[in-house]
């Protein structure tokens, strides 16, 4: 594959700008992916990222229970600088360098080889499916105060299955639909918190924000909840092949999404902790609906519950889109059997969607805390590979075309990775033995699975193929020179 690249060394450009490097093939071979009419533009992409990462303040309540108001508020102000912004910047650079489905799998494969690319894909896909299993749980947790039957038993099981089927069908119908559904759901999810904010102004007591007791902090719950609510910025990279002009659109969307996510967490927490007397044991999933009732009455609680339901719908469809297109991207690179690359009449990866939905159903019986801890553990391993790939490509291929490039050179790239790498070590250190064992078993499965798939390919029991329109991503290939 030939690339139009300027002869001189690239200069650093700010997020959202584009230096003109192109990612094209000989004779402009049209991509087999979605056509331009179906590609995702900036606004839907912002809300897809919003739902990949956040979806609003639903799920942040445990930070107050774990550490009190002051540390909860500080966490959502400081943590983005340690984790969210570095991850978003790396995603912008690498996602524009490799603007194709598969995202981080392609980055790691390019830097470390296909074996480790597969491990990245396995851990991130499994982490994403575990993450998606949270949303039916959270959806029902918010509704069970109004409909007690959803608290457990057969009604809850039926509700989980029904919700999974409906949202899976929405993914099947197309990513463009999912993107604009995300925009609508995002606006409707945020709006009631604006109303609560206005109602709460006379009742705010700033001294409540300063309550802290370091001796009683549940650091495991606190860090895992912060980490879960502020990660997954790289998930959008697996959809890069479905984005209109990704080299320009992706950095812009990430920039706007960072601002939206931080505001959507901080201000509801500010309102909830400042307007209501503190009872830390009550701060758990669904507590914002109780706060709404205290401040505005039953009608406001019902609105918040509806907003939570819509938020969880948005997070579910966004995460499933990312997971399913990741499998499609891996199949296009020959890492999975060819049938994973087949698309429905709507341009969506049918088998990827079905596999992801099956994983959600199998895991939805776990508790909120168990799901968060398990997916964080796997996610951490995947991020370590991403950081290594990011730095390695900076060292080995400094002149490779990067439409968006983080300033600071190789030294800056290494320094950018140090704070989140330290955080990963801390999160892993606080994991329980149960979560650690289950997660390491899952990692071990991936280590064995890749050689098994290569054996199956060699025996020709299943067909594997690399899409002809994709460029060479090896360090000795044309893309990186």
Q: Write down the pTM of the prediction.
A: 0.85
| CA nearest neighbour of 348 among 40, 78, 17 | 40
How many residues are there in the chain?
481
pLDDT tens-digit map of 241-261: 899 899 999 999 999 999 999
- In 3-state terms, what secondary structure has residue 470? coil
253 Cβ neighbours under 8 A, 6+ residues apart: 42, 45, 46, 49, 236
- In 3-state terms, what secondary structure has residue 333? strand
Q: Which of 12-16, 57-61, 66-70, 387-391 has the lowest mean pLDDT?
A: 12-16
pLDDT tens-digit map of 442-458: 899 999 999 999 999 99
In this prediction, residue 275 has a pLDDT band, given cuts at 50, 70 and 90, of very high
8 lies in some domain: no
First to last CA, the chain: 11
Q: What CATH number corresponds to the domain at position 337?
A: 1.20.1740.10
Contact 392, 94 (CB under 8 A): no
243 lies in some domain: yes
Angle formed by the axes of helices 153-172 and 134-143, nearest 10°: 130
272 lies in some domain: yes
Task: Indicate whether 11 pLDDT > 50.
Answer: no
How far is it, in rounded angstroms, from Cα 318 to Cα 53?
Answer: 9
Residue range of the domain that includes 296: 46-479
Contact 4, 403 (CB under 8 A): no
369 lies in some domain: yes
11 lies in some domain: no
Greatest alpha-carbon pair distance for the chain in Å reads 72
pLDDT tens-digit map of 196-244: 999 999 999 999 999 988 889 999 889 989 988 998 999 999 999 899 8
Report the percent of the chain where pLDDT is more than 70: 88
Helix (H) or strand (E) holding 323: helix 298-332
Tally of structural domains, the chain: 1
How far is it, in rounded angstroms, from Cα 49 to Cα 175?
Answer: 13
DSSP 55: S
Q: What is the pLDDT of residue 368?
A: 61
How far is it, in rounded angstroms, from Cα 97 to Cα 105?
Answer: 13
Query: How many Cβ atoms from other residues are within 10 Å of residue 148's Cβ?
Result: 10
409 lies in some domain: yes
22 lies in some domain: no
104 lies in some domain: yes
């Amino acid at each position: 594959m030939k690339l139009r690249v300027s002869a001189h060394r690239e200069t650093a450009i700010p997020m959202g700008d584009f230096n003109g490097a192109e990612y094209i093939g000989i004779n402009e071979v049209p991509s087999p992916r979605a056509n331009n009419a179906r590609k995702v533009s900036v606004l839907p992409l912002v809300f897809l990222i919003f739902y990949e990462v956040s979806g609003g303040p639903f799920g942040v309540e445990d930070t107050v229970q774990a550490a009190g108001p002051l540390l909860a508020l500080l966490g959502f102000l400081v943590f983005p600088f340690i984790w969210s912004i570095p991850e978003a910047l790396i995603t912008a650079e690498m996602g524009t360098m490799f603007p194709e489905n598969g995202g981080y799998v392609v980055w790691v494969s390019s830097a470390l080889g296909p074996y480790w690319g597969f491990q990245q894909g396995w851990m991130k896909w499994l982490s994403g499916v575990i993450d998606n299993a949270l949303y039916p749980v959270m959806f029902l947790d918010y509704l069970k105060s109004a409909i007690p039957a959803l608290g457990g038993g057969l009604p809850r099981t039926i509700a989980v299955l029904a919700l999974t089927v409906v949202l899976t069908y929405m993914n099947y119908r197309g990513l463009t639909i999912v993107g604009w559904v995300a925009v609508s759901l995002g606006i409707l999810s945020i709006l009631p918190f604006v109303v609560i904010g206005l109602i709460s102004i006379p009742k705010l007591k700033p001294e409540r924000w300063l309550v802290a007791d370091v001796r009683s902090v549940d650091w495991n719950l606190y860090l895992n909840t912060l980490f879960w609510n502020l990660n997954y910025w790289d998930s959008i990279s697996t959809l890069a092949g479905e984005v209109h002009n990704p080299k320009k659109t992706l950095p812009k969307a990430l920039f706007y999404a960072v601002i939206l996510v931080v505001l959507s967490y901080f201000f509801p927490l500010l309102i909830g902790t400042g307007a209501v007397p503190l009872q830390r044991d009550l701060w758990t999933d669904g507590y914002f609906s109780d706060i709404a009732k205290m401040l505005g009455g039953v009608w406001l609680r019902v609105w918040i519950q509806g907003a939570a339901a819509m938020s969880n719908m948005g997070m579910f469809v966004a995460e499933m889109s990312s997971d399913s297109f990741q499998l499609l991207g891996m199949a296009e690179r020959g890492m999975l059997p060819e049938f994973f690359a087949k698309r429905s009449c709507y341009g969506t990866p049918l088998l990827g969607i079905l596999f992801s939905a099956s994983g959600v159903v199998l895991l939805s019986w776990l508790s909120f805390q168990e799901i968060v801890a398990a997916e964080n553990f796997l996610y951490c391993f995947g991020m370590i590979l991403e950081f290594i790939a990011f730095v390695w490509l900076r060292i080995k291929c400094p002149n490779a075309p990067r439409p968006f490039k983080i300033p600071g050179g190789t030294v800056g790239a290494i320094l950018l990775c140090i704070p989140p790498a330290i955080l990963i070590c801390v999160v892993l250190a606080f994991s329980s033995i149960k979560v650690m064992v289950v997660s390491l078993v899952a990692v071990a499965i991936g280590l064995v699975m890749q050689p098994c798939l290569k054996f199956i390919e060699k025996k020709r029991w299943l067909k594997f193929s690399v899409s002809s329109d994709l460029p060479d991503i090896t360090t000795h290939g044309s893309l990186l020179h």
